[in-house]
Amino acid sequence: MAPRRPNEDEEWLDARIESWVETYKKSMLTPAILALIAEHQPAGIATITDALTQRTGWQITERGLYRNVKRLQDSGFIANTDVNAPRTGAKRKELSLTKIGKEFLAGITDNFIELPDK
């Protein structure tokens, strides 16, 4: 038996939900990255990628994560240190929050809305 095809109202609703979720993910990516760096610092990109996927279920490309990290570095919220990777001698970046990055994250999280129980 063929799967049931959604009707027009269901397709419209599914599209609105998908649009909202994508907007939410984009806006929450900054505090999520900052919080994960704060939790794991100093943290490499692989650690942040794995933690983000594990904790949120979101998939982000390495390129997308690097782009966001670069933006946060350019804003002064993240500092990086080049360290030798084990067994290869190659350099890798370890990320940590700057003082202003900690303050920025605190300012964002202070404005999260939690609805009280009835």
**What letter does residue 51 receive in the DSSP assignment?**
H
Kindly state the helix (H) or strand (E) to which residue 28 belongs, with its residue range. helix 8-40
pLDDT at 63: 86
- Give strand pairing partners of 97: 78
pLDDT at 91: 79
CB-based contact 72:34 (threshold 8 Å): yes
Looking at domain 30-109, its CATH architecture is: Orthogonal Bundle (1.10)
Local mean pLDDT, 10-residue blocks, the chain (118 residues): 79 89 85 94 89 88 88 95 79 91 93 79
User: Domain locations in the chain?
Assistant: 30-109
CB-based contact 12:19 (threshold 8 Å): no
